């Protein structure tokens, strides 16, 4: 490709709305342009990278035996009503009416469509298992799109759906996708970890997220420094060791006036005690009932774990109005004299507390010297808190550390949740009707591009890994007005193309400085500069990743480039 023809509007200045490096660089290097908030156009360079990610995805999905299809983005509301998701989702689900005023959704995902498709066209165990996938634009009306294409309102996803006759079959399909994902992200050059995750609203048991490691990642990963245990913070299990036989606190609990002492900090000052000596009580609404969760004052409640304890669809903090209605004084909540409709659960660590301070459930009062189990009963102790760095690894006893990640892949064991709701059944070997057992598997294709830029850049711009680079070699004649330089550059360009490389020739009549800045910004893996020594058939070969540059005879170029391309793919 000749750069004088390439639609590549690079920018020097950093776009103000871009908060993170990958968003800044993808705009400055002319890969994307925003149409409206959360909606992007991919320009030629960005599109070439997208296509490379898709190519790797296709090769690995096909290798895993999945079959590519293409499903519509426009989906009838009736399908979503069959699964109950028409009402379950709010404004994030983009809805539209056709000319006959019929309701449709713009597909944020395709469980309903694919389950309907298989239900209507397959009904015998002989035709299972099957895995159908597509690479398609998805629509989700994010409340706050940000970070460029990392959290956008339309994005490209590879989504796959497996259908098996049994849970064992699903386990095989799931593992096959898990392995395919590992190959995809390795080939894309991403530093990633597969972490245990929470299934969330989609349901099902067992799910992993593939996280591209990055400090701007929205997710926190808890991983073990000794074994390969890794989990999303939402899911990470806390190891609880029953404390030593707790020494009874002297005397009984005592109600003390604590006017306007509400927060843990205020309590710590008032009682001159550490956070770990307080019982934090939080009131939640789990679907249509109220619950109170108790955690030690220095711990954080994990609301996903709480939600799972009650198997709730929706879990929200009780509002001030709801607290008033319940007669629970905000800031003085405690496990005492609660309305008996309220279920109280406590994190394991609470049961070891003695001489604690807790809200008295009366405005301006707390109790001190409280001993759970003695001064109040708890029916359910469970794992309710966030794991913290230094906690014990639930697999090997090692140490837990934190990292942040960008979720680029997510694999789920759905089970029969959708097949039962939509009647996707098969006749088993005994002729008996059974619901198909499903899995679903997503990769954020556009998000993977951004994660790659987030992990591969320096102060001068992007540093593309060989496998995702929009072009592999950048030929840059310093001065196109100099015939020797221009002619040598063009002949090298033709020669490299003939050898099968993807080559960009910067044939623009720009100053050298501008060309070199643009070359660093768009970050192709290898740059060949044709300058003052063109007459001697000497050029400079520079590796973008390491900055190493060396002058070589053009006669050595083929094997030098070959060697570099091999080392850059290692």
Nearer CB in complex with ligand 9G3: 234/506: 234
Nearer to ligand 9G3, 174 or 376 (CB): 174
> Exposed, middle or buried by CB within 10 Å (0-12, 13-18, 19+), for 320?
exposed
89 touches ligand 9G3 (CB under 6 A): yes
Tell me which stretch binds ligand 9G3 (CB under 6 A): 38-46, 183-191, 439-447, 451-459: 439-447
In this structure, what are the phi and psi dihedrals at residue 57, rounded to the nearest 5 degrees?
-60, -50
Name the maximum alpha-carbon separation found in the chain. 97
Q: Does a cis peptide bond (omega within 30 degrees of 0) precede residue 568?
A: no
In this structure, are strands 289-296 and 343-347 parallel, antiparallel, or unpaired? parallel
Interacting positions 481-500 with ligand 9G3 (CB under 6 A): none
Structure tokens, 218? 């929205």
Q: Identify the bridge partners of residue 406 per DSSP, sorted by sequence position.
A: 212
Cβ atoms of 181 and 173 closer than 8 Å = no
Cα 278 to chain center, whole Å? 35
Q: Using CA atoms, how far apart are residues 155 and 64, in angstroms rounded to an integer?
A: 24
Among 93, 135, 451, 462, binds ligand 9G3 (CB under 6 A): 93
Structure tokens at 229: 């245990």
Candidates 10-18, 89-97, 221-229, 234-242: pick the segment binding ligand 9G3 (CB under 6 A): 89-97
CA trace torsion 220, 221, 226, 229 (10° rounding)? 150
Is the CB of 89 or the CB of 271 nearer to ligand 9G3?
A: 89
Q: Which residue's CB is nearer to ligand 9G3, number 108 or number 189?
A: 108
Decide whether 159 or 518 has the Cβ nearer to ligand 9G3: 159
> Cβ closer to ligand 9G3: 443 or 557?
443
Q: Which candidate, 225, 223, 160, 154, places its Cα nearest to that of 194?
A: 223
Residue 217 interacts with ligand 9G3 (CB under 6 A): yes or no: no
Selected range binding ligand 9G3 among 6-14, 163-171, 317-325, 435-443, rule: CB under 6 A = 435-443
Residues 392-421 touching ligand 9G3, rule: CB under 6 A, are 410, 412
| 442 sits near ligand 9G3 (criterion: CB under 6 A) | yes
Q: What are phi and psi of 316, to 5 degrees?
A: -135, 155
Stretch that binds ligand 9G3, among 13-21, 290-298, 328-336, 434-442 (CB under 6 A): 434-442
Residue with Cβ nearer ligand 9G3 (411 or 488): 411
Residue 134 or 371: which CB sits closer to ligand 9G3? Answer: 134
Q: How far is the CB of 40 from ligand 9G3 (least distance, A)?
A: 19
Q: CB of 63: closest distance to ligand 9G3 in angstroms?
A: 19
Q: How far is the CB of 208 from ligand 9G3 (least distance, A)?
A: 11
Residue 411, phi then psi, degrees to nearest 5: -120, 135
In the complex, minimum distance from the CB of residue 89 to ligand 9G3, in angstroms, rounded to a whole number? 4
Output Rg (C-alpha) for the chain, integer angstroms: 29
Per rule CB under 6 A, is residue 78 in the interface with ligand 9G3?
Answer: no
Residues whose CB is less than 8 angstroms from the CB of residue 269 and which lie 6 or more positions away in sequence, other chains included: none
User: Considering only 48-56, 145-153, 400-408, 438-446, which stretch makes contact with ligand 9G3 by CB under 6 A?
Assistant: 438-446
Cβ proximity to ligand 9G3: between 133 and 332 the closer is 133
To ligand 9G3, the closest distance from the beta carbon of 64 in angstroms equals 15
108 binds ligand 9G3 (CB under 6 A): yes
Is residue 109 near ligand 9G3 by the rule CB under 6 A? yes
Residue 52: how many CA atoms within 13 Å on its side-chain side?
A: 23
In whole angstroms, give the CA distance from residue 151 to residue 143. 10
Q: What is the DSSP letter of 52?
A: H
Which residues within the stretch 115-174 sit at the binding site for ligand 9G3 (CB under 6 A)?
140, 159
Tokens of 326: 């319940």
CB 359 within 8 A of CB 278: no
Selected range binding ligand 9G3 among 440-448, 500-508, 522-530, 533-541, rule: CB under 6 A? 440-448
Provide, rounded to whole angstroms, the least separation between the CB of residue 105 and ligand 9G3: 7
Closest to ligand 9G3 by CB, 27 or 437: 437
Q: Count Cβ atoms within 10 A of the Cβ of residue 375 and give its class: 0-12 exposed, 13-18 middle, 19 or more buried.
A: middle
Q: How far is the CB of 21 from ligand 9G3 (least distance, A)?
A: 26
325 binds ligand 9G3 (CB under 6 A): no
CB closer to ligand 9G3, 109 vs 232: 109
SS3 string, 338-391, reads: CCCCCEEEEEHHHHHCCCEEEEEEECCEEEEEECECCCECCCEEECCECCCCCC
Residue 202 binds ligand 9G3, judged by CB under 6 A? yes
Angle (CA) 407-412-418 rounded to 5° is 130
Closer residue to ligand 9G3 (CB): 110 or 305: 110
The two structure tokens encoding residue 419:
């097949």
User: Interface residues with ligand 9G3 (CB under 6 A)?
Assistant: 85, 89, 92-93, 108-109, 140, 159, 202, 410, 412, 440-442
């Amino acid at each position: 490709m000749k750069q004088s023809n390439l639609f590549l509007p690079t920018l020097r200045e950093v776009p103000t709305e871009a908060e993170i490096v990958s968003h800044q660089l993808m705009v400055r290097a002319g890969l994307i342009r925003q149409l409206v908030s959360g909606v992007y156009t991919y320009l030629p360079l960005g599109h070439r990278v997208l296509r490379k990610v898709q190519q790797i995805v296709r090769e690995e999905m096909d290798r895993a035996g999945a079959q590519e299809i293409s499903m519509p983005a426009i989906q009838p509301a009736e399908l979503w009503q069959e699964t109950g998701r028409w009402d379950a989702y709010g404004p994030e689900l983009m809805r539209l009416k056709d000319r006959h005023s019929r309701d449709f959704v713009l597909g944020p995902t395709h469980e309903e469509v694919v389950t309907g498709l298989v239900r209507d066209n397959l009904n015998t165990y002989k035709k299972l298992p099957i895995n159908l996938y597509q690479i398609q634009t998805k629509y989700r009306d994010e409340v706050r799109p940000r970070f460029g294409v990392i959290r956008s309102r339309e994005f490209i996803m590879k989504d796959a759906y497996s259908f098996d006759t049994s849970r064992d079959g699903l386990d095989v399909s799931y593992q096959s996708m898990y392995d395919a994902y590992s190959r995809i992200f390795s080939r894309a050059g991403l530093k990633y970890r597969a972490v245990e995750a929470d299934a969330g609203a989609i349901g099902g048991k067992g799910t992993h997220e593939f996280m591209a490691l990055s400090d701007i990642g929205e997710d926190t990963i808890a991983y073990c420094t000794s074994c390969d245990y890794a989990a999303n913070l939402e899911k990470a299990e806390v190891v609880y060791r029953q404390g030593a036989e707790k020494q009874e606190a002297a005397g009984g609990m005592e109600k003390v006036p604590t006017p306007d002492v509400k927060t843990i900090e205020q309590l710590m000052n008032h009682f001159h005690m550490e956070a770990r000596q307080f019982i934090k009580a939080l009131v939640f609404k789990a679907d249509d009932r109220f619950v109170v969760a108790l955690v030690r004052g220095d711990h954080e409640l994990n609301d996903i774990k709480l939600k799972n304890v009650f198997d709730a669809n929706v879990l929200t903090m009780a509002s001030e109005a709801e607290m008033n209605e319940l007669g629970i004084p905000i800031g003085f909540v405690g496990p005492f004299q609660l309305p008996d409709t309220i279920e109280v659960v406590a994190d394991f660590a609470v049961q070891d507390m003695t001489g604690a301070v807790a809200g008295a459930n009366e405005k301006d009062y707390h109790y001190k010297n409280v001993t759970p189990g003695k001064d109040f009963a708890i029916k359910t102790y469970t794992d309710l808190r966030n794991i913290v760095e230094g906690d014990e690894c639930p697999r090997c006893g090692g140490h837990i550390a934190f990292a942040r990640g960008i979720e680029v892949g997510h694999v789920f064991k759905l089970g029969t949740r959708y097949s039962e709701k939509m009647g996707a059944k098969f006749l088993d070997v005994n002729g008996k009707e059974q619901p198909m057992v499903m899995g679903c598997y997503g990769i954020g294709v556009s998000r993977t591009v951004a994660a790659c830029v987030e992990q591969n850049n320096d102060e001068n711009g992007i540093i593309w890994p060989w496998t995702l680079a929009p072009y592999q070699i950048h030929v840059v004649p310093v001065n196109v007005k100099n015939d020797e330089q221009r002619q040598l550059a063009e002949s090298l360009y033709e020669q490299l193309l003939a050898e099968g490389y993807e080559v960009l020739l910067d044939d623009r009549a720009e100053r050298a400085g501008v060309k070199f800045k643009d070359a660093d910004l768009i970050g192709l893996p290898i740059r060949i500069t044709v300058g003052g020594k063109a007459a001697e058939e000497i050029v400079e070969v520079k590796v973008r990743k390491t900055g190493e540059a060396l002058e070589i005879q053009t006669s050595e170029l083929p094997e030098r480039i070959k060697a570099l391309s091999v080392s850059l793919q290692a």
